[in-house]
Amino acid sequence: MNKPLTGFTPTARSLAQMRIVTAKANLPDSFAEIMAGASIPVMIADDVAAGIAELQKMFEPFPAAIEKMAEILGNLLPKVATAPDAGQAKQMVVADGREKLMQHLADLDAASGLVRRRDESGDSYAAVRQMNGAARPYAVPIGAQSIQVRDQVADALLSRMLPGHVPTIGREFASMRLEDFAPQRTFGGAVRARMSNFANTGDFPYALAVASNKVLLNFYEAAQSALKTASHETSSRDFRPINTVRVSGGGQLPLVAEGAEFKAKYFEDAGEAYAIQTFGGIYGITRQAIVNDDLDAFSSRVQLLGTGAAQTEASLLTALLQMNSGAGPTMADGKTLFHADHGNRAASGSALSIASVSAARTAMRRQKGLAGEIIQVLPTFLVVPPEKETEAEQIVAQLASVKVDEVNPFASKLTVLCDPNLTSATRWYLAAAPGRPDGLQHAYLDGNKGPQITTREGFEVDGTEFKVSLDFGCGFVDWRPWYMNPGA
């Protein structure tokens, strides 16, 4: 997604606040940068993000509108920032943004000889084509003017590939066979006459890719790594090392006596680095599958690829914890992540108990910043292998006791994260929430969160080829938010 030039560079604090807001609304970091660049006040930020999410969902079937959203929001949000209250701010985002995006689609349609009309519900728009002065439903594209029908076919294919999906814009195509959409040369004849233009423009791979991407992401999100909950998500413009910088809080402000001079105060800094890598492969739907209308076989592979992408991320995240025989990766200071000098490793292994978790929490609370300042590390997650999951849940469960001295101090304060990729049956961890401060980070290439599918006409495969790629990287940027006990 291209970001507009706002002429204003937001502060790191503002950007961090907007990233928290957009993360809650399931929006990518690119929207956080747009909101921060528009100086959206914190008191209306949640409603603005909710409005953007609503706008994004509204125009999801129209890629041309989604591609334009960043530019339109970049111009709209500075005005939204002056809204008197949160409710009006959201209304401005949805109403004004919707109008501008519809105008953008109308402009594209005008260039293709199309006009738009509201459907019967009045809540969405349907494309129509001018034919002899009369508006007729637009179902047959002409050459390059096939943007709308591609999305309709994608919606129809998705209804067959993803259980529970009810077609909306693609209802009229939902009962058609694969060969009705595919190019004639793929199966040697008999295409429904009204779909021949679509078939021969090569839009079938595009439509199938749109549907496949949604299936891929659905199963990818369903199989997310537990460790990602304890990791801060970010993005990068390229594959070069992501250099992170930690700055000390500077400690307490010194007393300035009456008439005395203010003295210069310096901040300590340190940094770590990791990089994004690419994972993926090429797969295909064959001519035989198209002729046989065997979409189920293809969609089941896409589902497995979505789950596989999530497992790839999970294995990379847990591999970091398990490096160097469980001591974690080597940090910039030359010591492993979990090290006695870092104060985040138990001197000896102990089983999960109120006492051992309490000792871990105390050690995290005692962590200090680069300048020796108190940094208030608050444990949020108890990370365990499957063998310790029941014990961990018992530790954090609310005890049904009436005696004050028997009440569990960790009830409702810790969340159990169980990851089956952890190979040690005894080792367990405490971790702070992302950003408080950041310990574990993961990153995607800008605009490519999660696995992506691209297509082309088959060359090695007689049919259509699909390339599945995942641009992902992860690393630890600080040891203070994590604590490890070897267990017993």
Q: Which of 22, 42, 47 is nearest to 33 (CA)?
A: 22
Rounded to an integer, what is the distance from CA 141 to the centroid of its chain? 33
Measured CA distances, 381 to 134, 227, 310, 388 (Å): 63, 10, 20, 14
pLDDT of residue 8: 53
Instruction: Give the residue ranges of DSSP H helices in 192-294.
Output: 196-200, 204-222, 287-291
Distance CA 217, CA 306 (A): 6
Handedness of CA 44, 48, 49, 53 (dihedral sign): positive
pLDDT of residue 243: 77
pLDDT of residue 271: 64
pLDDT of residue 122: 39
* pTM for this prediction: 0.61
* Residue extents of the structural domains in the chain: 1-118, 223-246+269-488
Q: Which SS3 state, helix, strand or coil, does residue 383 take?
A: strand
**SS3 of 400-452:** CCCCHHHCCCCCCCCEEEECCCCCCCCCEEEEECCCCCCCEEEEEECCCCCCE
Residue with tokens 């901040």: 267
Distance between first and last Cα of the chain:
49
Residue with tokens 């090290």: 339
Cβ atoms of 152 and 169 within 8 Å: the answer is yes
Residue 418 burial by Cβ neighbours in a 10 Å radius (0-12, 13-18, 19+): middle
Distance CA 17, CA 422 (A): 32
Residue 265 burial by Cβ neighbours in a 10 Å radius (0-12, 13-18, 19+): exposed
Distance CA 380, CA 230 (A): 9
Measured CA distances, 281 to 55, 269, 304, 312, 460 (Å): 33, 40, 13, 13, 14
Q: Which SS3 state, helix, strand or coil, does residue 133 take?
A: coil
CATH code of the domain made up of 223-246+269-488 = 3.90.1690.10
pLDDT in 10s for each residue of the chain, 488 residues: 444 434 456 677 788 888 888 888 888 888 988 999 899 998 999 999 999 999 988 887 777 788 889 999 999 999 999 998 998 999 999 999 988 988 887 777 666 544 444 443 333 444 433 333 333 333 333 333 344 677 888 888 898 888 888 888 788 788 887 777 765 443 333 334 434 445 445 577 778 888 888 898 888 988 889 999 999 998 888 888 887 755 555 555 677 777 777 766 554 555 688 889 999 988 777 777 777 777 887 888 888 889 999 999 999 999 999 999 999 999 988 999 999 999 999 999 999 998 999 999 999 999 987 767 778 788 999 999 999 999 999 888 743 333 445 555 554 478 999 999 999 999 999 999 888 788 999 999 887 888 988 877 766 667 778 888 999 999 999 999 999 999 98
Q: Which of 203, 208, 76 is nearest to 142 (CA)?
A: 203
What does the chain come to in residues? 488
